[in-house]
Structure 1
Amino acid sequence: MATLILVRHGRTTANASGLLAGRADGVSLDQVGREQAALTGDRLASVPVAGVVSSPLERCQETAQLILERQTGTPHAPVDPDLTECDYGQWQGRKLRDLATEELWPMVQTQPSAVVFPGGESMAGMQARSVAAIRRHDAAFEAANGREAVWVAVSHGDVIKSILADALGMHLDLFQRINVSPASVSIVHYGASRPSVYAINTEAGDLSWLSNGMSSGDAAVGGGAGQKTP
């Protein structure tokens, strides 16, 4: 299968002020976030990306554009509503420090599979629709570009964490153990027999080795020799 690069949007004005932005309109990258996204674009510049798919929210589209500006031959980033932020319902727009006092907060931390946000979405539903979208796009990119294709999905922290948990074979109740920082890069290859996770939450480092493609065979006992940089 193709290789997926998961990118979280850069830091936003809401992130900086401790607000849960959710799906609110008008939440843009701040200056730090633009710099973070530009750095991610620079890291990916040496990788011929077959395509970029983005959450429809502004902060993700801004991040996707900064990645595309450093690519050649990838004209635009279509949006997919299934990669959008979790619908936090009545929690949206509130301060995280205030939400931490809510009765639901401990369950979000320890049993997210049972969480339904008041007036919003379940975390299990968020994972189901985002993983399905990722699998759908991955198959489409491989069909159009071959098994060596590398593509990018720009989304949100909890969404990316849920996708990574699925790829790692983790129960959703364990996904809070995964950290996904603004503009970070995580890498998943959906092989014939199982997903392989090559990176989680990287904020720096050379990614040119991705242009060599991934092995679709069995895992190397002992860990193997690693990826070759061009």
Structure 2
Amino acid sequence: MATLILLRHARSAANGSGVLAGRSPGVGLDATGTSQVAGLGARLGEVPVSSVVVSPLQRCAETVREFAASRGLEPVVDERLSEVDYGQWTGRKVSELTGESLWSVVQQHPSAAVFPGGEGLAQVQARAVAAIREHDARVSAEFGPNAVWLACSHGDVIKSVLADALGLHLDGFQRIVVDPCSLSVVRYTETRPFVVKVNDTGADVSALLPPKEASSSDAVVGGSTGSSGAAS
């Protein structure tokens, strides 16, 4: 199957203000986010991205717009990659939400967390993973098993996809860190996904390049020596 790059949107105005933006309209990137986007093309310069899929929210659209245009790609908008519907928590300051009884559930037992007037985190994971799997199959069929594609979404959504790829129960997804404009990489095979990178904010994209040979579903025994080496 193809190689997936999970890109969290660059820093937004809400990130900087400590507000839980959720699906609020009109939330764009702040100055830091704009600077992060400016460096995205260089970070992905050697990576042959065949398709870009994006959440419908403004901050994600702004994050991928310039990069997609530079590759001649029209982003595919998928509602299933949208931010969590935080319901009545939307627009509130995070510092206020820490006093809510639901806060400890979100932190310690997120699979049981359902936001008042919104959706549950288990629902978020189900919709996001289904979307990722479908697009990965589409890209593989259209561009071949060594294709690379990019999905731009939101922190909790990406964390839920990574938890699934790691075989980690959703209750452990809060252990994963996904910073603004970070890259995480997953390669899906017939029997299991391989998580190649998590929360990468640097410039080395060598691990994002497609393998020279068809990917195997077998894990390396003894440990890998690198992207081009064998087990030792």
TM-score, shorter chain, exceeding 0.5: yes
Q: Distance in 1 between matches of 2:195 and 2:38?
A: 24
Q: Distance in 1 between matches of 2:36 and 2:46?
A: 17
Runs of 4+ aligned residues of structure 1 deviating over 6 Å after TM superposition are none
Q: Tell me: CA distance 1:118–1:110, structure 2 relative to 1, closer, same or farther (3 Å).
A: same
Q: Distance in 2 between matches of 1:85 and 1:209?
A: 27
Q: How does 1:56-205 map to 2 (within 5 A)?
A: 56-69=56-69, 73-205=71-203
Give unmatched runs, 5+ long, in structure 2: none
* Structure 1 residue 66, shift from structure 2 partner: 3.1
* Structure 1 residue 75, shift from structure 2 partner: 2.1
**Counterpart residue number, 1:7:** 7
Amino acid at match of 2:64: A
Amino acid at match of 1:137: H
Q: Distance in 2 between matches of 1:209 and 1:200?
A: 11
Deviates more, 1:205-214 or 1:115-124: 205-214
* Structure 1 residue 73, shift from structure 2 partner: 4.2
Sequence identity (%): 56
Q: How does 1:44-63 map to 2 (within 5 A)?
A: 44-63=44-63
Q: Distance in 2 between matches of 1:75 and 1:185?
A: 19
Amino acid at match of 1:102: E
Helix, strand or coil: the match of 1:108? helix
Deviates more, 1:89-98 or 1:73-82: 73-82
Contact 2:3 2:210 in 1 (8 A): no
1:54-95, CA deviations, whole angstroms, 9 ceiling, x for partnerless residues? 0000000111113224xx544211110000000000000000
* Structure 1 residue 50, shift from structure 2 partner: 0.5
Contact 1:44 1:208 in 2 (8 A): no
Q: Distance in 2 between matches of 1:206 and 1:198?
A: 13
Amino acid at match of 2:33: G
**Counterpart residue number, 2:220:** 220
* Structure 1 residue 187, shift from structure 2 partner: 0.2
Does 2:56 match 1:23? Answer: no
Amino acid at match of 1:62: E
Q: Distance in 2 between matches of 1:172 and 1:108?
A: 11
Deviates more, 1:155-164 or 1:60-69: 60-69
Amino acid at match of 2:139: F
Amino acid at match of 2:224: G
The Cα RMSD (Å) is 1.5
Contact 2:8 2:155 in 1 (8 A): yes
Q: Tell me: CA distance 1:209–1:105, structure 2 relative to 1, closer, same or farther (3 Å).
A: closer
* Structure 1 residue 209, shift from structure 2 partner: 4.5
Amino acid at match of 1:92: T
Q: Tell me: CA distance 1:209–1:165, structure 2 relative to 1, closer, same or farther (3 Å).
A: closer
Contact 2:22 2:85 in 1 (8 A): yes
Q: Tell me: CA distance 1:209–1:158, structure 2 relative to 1, closer, same or farther (3 Å).
A: closer
* Structure 1 residue 40, shift from structure 2 partner: 2.7
Helix, strand or coil: the match of 1:215? coil
Q: Distance in 2 between matches of 1:73 and 1:39?
A: 15
Q: Tell me: CA distance 1:216–1:67, structure 2 relative to 1, closer, same or farther (3 Å).
A: farther
Q: Distance in 2 between matches of 1:78 and 1:157?
A: 19
